[in-house]
Structure 1
Amino acid sequence: MADSLSAECLPSNTFMRGISRLNLWLAWLSGLVLVVATGLVFLEILSRLIFDHSLVWVIELSEYSLLYMTFLGAPYLLEKHRHVAIDLVTDALPEWPRRLLVALMSALAAVACGYCAWVGGLVTLDQLEYGMRETTLMRPPSYLITLVFPLGMLLLAIQFVAQTLDSFKR
């Protein structure tokens, strides 16, 4: 993540500059979660080898870490066009049809991500309201696990809207 918060790296719109900064910070947080999860797995291995004792909670934390890394890092990757993309068809098209297709695909993705954010937000609020807990060893509150889903989807939806608008500006 060599991108800095300098003015030339950020969009011109104030709102999108804020979103871009948030995406960058969440991507750094995603990287930190990766480092911590890797360290915990390493400690788990050492604990089993040296003390013949397993740290069973590490596997559960690793699972949650994968969820958090995915949804915290995805908006940044989409913003910087570093996500997985199959552009075989779009690259073969002339410029105007390509822009139109990219705009349509981005708009559709924005709607899908917005819907997922909405439903995910409702589920997360229900989990908070009813005090639901995971049925795992650590028994964390469920909303702490699912909260990252609507957040990530909302930021992805915003980024897809920006891509839709940008496809006509280029």
Structure 2
Amino acid sequence: MKNLNKYWTLLEDILTGVFFVSGLGLIFYGVLMRYVFNNPKPWVEEISMYSVIWGILFGLSVALRNDHHIAIDLLYDVLSPKLKRLMNIFANLVGILFCIFFIYYSFNLVSSTHKTGMVSLTVGIPMWIIYVILPISGTLFLIRFIERFIQTVRKVDNYDHSSI
């Protein structure tokens, strides 16, 4: 199981990095072509935007895994360990429920855009391909919430619960 988690973590990191860095690289290329060579490429803005968004959405599960989400822990810090544990269980359950709804409705969005045949304006990419990141990122996020929930229930303190 540790090997699977290691490879899963590596895959998350690679996907997040590749999409985010390629999006930023395309933005740099677009600026260079527009302002230095006076030869703007209309497709660059659209593809770079999708790449950055995909990188961010893949990064949701990475941020949860590394405990980098925004937290307000003023009340949490004064709770007893037992109440902290209950709060963590509740927060993870809410996260799991959110992910389930997110996956369900994003799958419906992908399905409806596939049926309608919508395409992007500049490049003509089918929109369902662009939107498919939503159920994928929701699933990755769900897996991390389930992992945190199990660790909290088992009282495995491999991460700081204060940011939930």
Length-normalised TM-score, structure 1: 0.80
- Structure 2 vs 1, CA of residues 111 and 17 (structure 1 numbering), >3 Å: closer, same or farther? farther
- State yes or no: 1:101 paired with 2:81: no
- State yes or no: 1:110 paired with 2:100: no
Residue 50 (structure 1) aligns with: 36
Once residues 10 and 73 of structure 2 are traced to their aligned partners in structure 1, the CA distance between those partners, rounded to angstroms, is 25
> For structure 1, which runs of at least 5 residues remain unmatched after alignment?
1-13
Residue 108 (structure 2) aligns with: 122
Is this contact kept in 2: 1:23–1:73, CA < 8 A?
no
Is this contact kept in 1: 2:22–2:48, CA < 8 A?
no
Task: Give the secondary-structure state (helix, strand or coil) at the position aligned to 1:88.
Answer: coil
- State yes or no: 1:163 paired with 2:148: yes
- Structure 2 vs 1, CA of residues 124 and 20 (structure 1 numbering), >3 Å: closer, same or farther? farther
Once residues 25 and 52 of structure 2 are traced to their aligned partners in structure 1, the CA distance between those partners, rounded to angstroms, is 14
Once residues 78 and 42 of structure 2 are traced to their aligned partners in structure 1, the CA distance between those partners, rounded to angstroms, is 51
Task: Give the secondary-structure state (helix, strand or coil) at the position aligned to 1:138.
Answer: coil
Q: Alpha-carbon deviation of 1:20?
A: 5.6
Mapping 1:126-145, distance limit 5 Å: 126-134=112-120, 136-145=121-130
Residue 10 (structure 1) aligns with: none
One-letter amino acid of the counterpart of residue 141, structure 2: L
Length-normalised TM-score, structure 2: 0.83
Residue 74 (structure 1) aligns with: 60
Is this contact kept in 1: 2:20–2:54, CA < 8 A?
no
Is this contact kept in 2: 1:120–1:149, CA < 8 A?
yes
Is this contact kept in 2: 1:132–1:142, CA < 8 A?
yes
Once residues 40 and 155 of structure 1 are traced to their aligned partners in structure 2, the CA distance between those partners, rounded to angstroms, is 26
Count the aligned residue pairs: 155
> For structure 2, which runs of at least 5 residues remain unmatched after alignment?
156-164
Residue 159 (structure 2) aligns with: none
Q: Alpha-carbon deviation of 1:19?
A: 5.5
Q: Alpha-carbon deviation of 1:111?
A: 0.3
Q: CA RMSD in A?
A: 2.0
Equivalent pairs: percent with the same residue?
Answer: 23
Q: Alpha-carbon deviation of 1:17?
A: 5.7
Is this contact kept in 1: 2:99–2:138, CA < 8 A?
yes
Task: Give the secondary-structure state (helix, strand or coil) at the position aligned to 2:75.
Answer: helix
Deviations 1:43-100 (A, max 9, x none): 2222123321212222112221222011111112212223332222222211000010
Is this contact kept in 1: 2:43–2:123, CA < 8 A?
yes
Q: Alpha-carbon deviation of 1:129?
A: 3.5
